């Protein structure tokens, strides 16, 4: 089966990205863009503008990409939470360098970030886990993420087992679940432009811990 998608086209016209208009460090520009996208949706709960793709290197040497939710960002990096024994967790353990990306269609923007990943402190993972909905907490115990299971019924049985086990008790964080922080060394900001002449500005962190800025051809 062949499906021709050559007529799927869009021209980008909403914004531009100029060196003279951006801050010296990338985190401020990231925050500016995030807040603009957030304002457009007026904080609607069903718009996950914090959704990001993360690519790790799998055990077969091939990149593996999936969508996770960004839970915190600052000048120190970008934090998300997952099962440490998942495919992404095992990939990070073997190769800590990852690539994360955001696509915000409303503002016709992308951000691509390369960085080095490490676990956050245990007390930070504990704090975040404590504030999760109860069902999500139980799900973290019920699911051995990325492991082969016999059926969906098996997964639901595991969920009910752990639900009954805790039964109004405080649900502690599993030792195999927690946060990662991605500390970037390269951040590319992509702004769609007419005629596919897109703006691409890159911040690169030099050894002296100083960010340099340059433009890429589209």
Per-residue pLDDT tens digits for 40-84: 887 555 679 999 999 999 999 999 999 999 999 999 999 999 999
What is the pLDDT at residue 44? 58
For residue 156, the model assigns a pLDDT of 93
Spans of all domains in the chain = 19-129+178-215
According to DSSP, the β-strands at 63-69 and 109-119 are: unpaired
Q: Which residue in 116, 109, 115 sits closest to 189, CA to CA?
A: 109
What DSSP state is assigned to residue 196?
G
Q: Is 196 a catalytic residue?
A: yes
Distance from C-alpha of 155 to C-alpha of 47, rounded to nearest angstrom: 28
CB 159 within 8 A of CB 166: no
* Phi, psi (rounded to 5 degrees) for 188: -105, 130
Per residue in 94-105, pLDDT (tens digit) is 999 999 999 999
Q: List the structure tokens of 129.
A: 């886990």
- Give the pLDDT score at 49: 93
**Superfamily the domain 19-129+178-215 falls into:** Electron Transport, Fmn-binding Protein; Chain A (2.30.110.10)
Rounded (10°) CA dihedral 49, 53, 54, 56 = 170
Catalytic residue chosen out of the listed positions 66, 132, 173, 196: 196
**Token pair listed for 171:** 């649900």
**Model-level pTM?**
0.92
Instruction: Round to whole Å and give the CA distance between 75 and 73.
Output: 7
Model pLDDT, residue 148 = 87
Per-residue pLDDT at 25: 94
Q: Is 132 helix (H, G, I), strand (E, B) or coil?
A: coil
Residues of the chain with pLDDT under 70: 43-46
Q: C-alpha angle 84/79/202, rounded to 5°? A: 120
């Amino acid at each position: 089966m062949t499906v021709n998608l050559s007529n799927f086209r869009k021209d980008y016209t909403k914004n531009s990205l100029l060196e003279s208009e951006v801050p010296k460090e990338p985190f401020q520009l990231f925050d500016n863009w995030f807040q603009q996208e957030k304002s457009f949706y007026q904080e609607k709960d069903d718009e996950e503008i914090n959704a990001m793709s993360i690519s790790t290197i799998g055990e077969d040497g091939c990149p593996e990409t999936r969508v996770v939710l960004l839970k915190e960002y600052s000048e120190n990096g970008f934090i998300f939470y997952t099962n440490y024994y998942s495919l992404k967790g095992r990939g990070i353990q073997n190769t800590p360098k990852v690539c994360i990306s955001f696509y915000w269609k409303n503002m016709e923007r992308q951000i691509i970030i390369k960085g080095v990943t490490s676990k956050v402190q245990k007390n930070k993972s504990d704090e975040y886990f404590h504030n999760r909905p109860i069902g999500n907490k139980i799900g973290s115990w019920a699911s051995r993420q990325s492991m082969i299971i016999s059926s969906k019924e098996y997964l639901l049985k595991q969920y009910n087992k752990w639900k009954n086990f805790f039964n109004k008790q405080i649900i502690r964080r599993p030792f195999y679940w927690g946060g990662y922080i991605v500390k970037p060394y390269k951040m590319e900001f992509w702004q769609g432009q007419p005629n596919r002449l897109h703006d691409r500005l890159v911040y690169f962190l030099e050894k002296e811990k100083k960010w340099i800025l340059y433009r890429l051809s589209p």
